[in-house]
């Protein structure tokens, strides 16, 4: 399957996710805070300020979760009113391993 699709004189690039997402989630406790994307990941994309910070110093700049090498699908994410709890609901995408076994979406 190609990543470029042509329909008459128009071209489209197939993508599984956006390169950047400006919707962030912030947790805070005392002098420590963490900034995540809505998937609960900490990624280093462009000038993003995602990470785990303590006393104005970033201690973690990248932390992501993948299932069989692919980013899970986002079902929902929310943060508590006091910014103490981040809840992210994810599910796996359809995956076929090199050995041919299949893992259906939502397993």
pLDDT of residue 104: 83
Question: Pick the residue with more confidence: 99 or 39?
Answer: 39
CA distance 73 to 90: 5
Which residue's structure tokens are 């299949």? 102
Q: Which residues contact 61 (CB under 8 A, 6 or more apart)?
A: 42, 44, 50, 51
User: Which residue, among 48, 47, 53, has the nearest Cα to 27 in the 3D structure?
Assistant: 53
Q: What is the pLDDT of residues 43-92, one digit of tens each?
A: 877 666 899 999 989 999 999 999 888 899 999 999 999 989 999 999 98
pLDDT score of 29: 93
Q: Which pLDDT band, with edges at 50, 70 and 90, does 22 fall under? A: low
Between 47 and 104, the higher pLDDT residue: 104
**Domain limits, the chain:** 17-103
């Amino acid at each position: 399957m190609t990543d470029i699709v042509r329909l008459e004189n128009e071209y489209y690039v197939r993508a599984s996710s956006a390169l950047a997402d400006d919707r962030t989630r912030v947790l805070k406790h005392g002098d420590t805070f963490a900034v995540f994307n809505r998937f609960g990941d900490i990624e280093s994309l462009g000038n993003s300020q995602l990470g785990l910070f303590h006393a104005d110093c970033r201690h973690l700049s990248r932390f992501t979760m993948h299932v069989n090498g692919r980013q899970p699908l986002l079902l929902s994410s929310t943060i508590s009113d006091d910014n103490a709890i981040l809840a992210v609901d994810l599910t796996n995408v359809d995956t076929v391993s090199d050995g041919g076994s299949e893992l259906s979406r939502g397993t």
